[in-house]
Amino acid sequence: MKTKLYHYLNKPYTVVLVMLIAPIFGLIDRNFVFFFSLGIAFLILKGGKYDWARFGIGQKITGKTIFKSLYIAIALFIGFSAIIDPLLQTWLGEYDLSSIDDIRGNVEGYIGLMLVMWVFAAFGEEFLFRGYYMKALAELLGNGNRTWLLSALITSLYFGISHAYQGLIGIVSVFLWSFAISLLFNRNRNNLLLLVLIHGIYDSIGITLIYLNKDHVISDWVYQLF
């Protein structure tokens, strides 16, 4: 039974079926969309005897990787907070952060959210969206440079739509952010852990600013400057 299940999940077109079926679970709860897809990815990983390289985890974390993830994450955060998001807010309005507003000044909530973020957002989302979706789609479409770029575009759009609970600006901003780090993955398709660290550091900065109630500091500074 397990062998048959792995056989079907291992089909190249399975990734398309998963991406089409997963949103149906959003009718129950938006989190089910993520956990259904993540569960499928882990079943494939288990059936393949935990071949992590299949999902882009073929390099260990080194000091160079940590340093690189730090400056890329900080550069992305400054770029989005100071330039991209202020422009998007002018056209699309403010982010809907009601789902995490309760961590403002709340130490327990802040620590809890940070732990959840590193496990399910930094690692879980990168493993699913880049390691599984993007990589499997690119391979399904021919595994060429153009198909990897097309896959990056498709999965980034899919990732952006999954953040619709943040409002239209959330969809657009997350799409752009996702496409940026997807291009990084495209350049080194065996170093997913770099993206995990970038994602975690980027979100850690944002969550910390929300906890301190300083999440508008950078955008306010830009408005005053110009």
The per-residue pLDDT for range 162-185, each reduced to its tens digit, is 999 999 999 999 999 999 999 999
Whether 225 shows a pLDDT value over 70: the answer reads no
**Rounded to the nearest 5°, which phi and psi values hold at 57?**
-100, 80
The per-residue pLDDT for range 114-171, each reduced to its tens digit, is 999 999 999 999 999 999 999 999 999 999 999 999 999 999 999 999 999 999 999 9
Helix (H, G, I), strand (E, B) or coil at 106: coil
Stretch (H or E) spanning 34 = helix 30-47
3-state secondary structure 148-215: HHHHHHHHHHHHHHCCHHHCHHHHHHHHHHHHHHHHHHHHCCCEHHHHHHHHHHHHHHHHHHHHCCCC
pTM: 0.94
Q: Which residues does 36 contact at the CB level (< 8 Å), separation at least 6?
A: 18, 21, 22, 25
Whether 78 shows a pLDDT value over 70: the answer reads yes
Q: What is the pLDDT of residue 219?
A: 58
Q: What is the pLDDT of residue 224?
A: 53
Q: What CA–CA distance (Å, rounded) separates 24 from 8?
A: 20
Q: What is the pLDDT of residue 220?
A: 58
Token pair listed for 42? 């882990």
pLDDT band at 16; cut points 50, 70, 90: very high
The per-residue pLDDT for range 47-66, each reduced to its tens digit, is 999 999 999 999 999 999 99
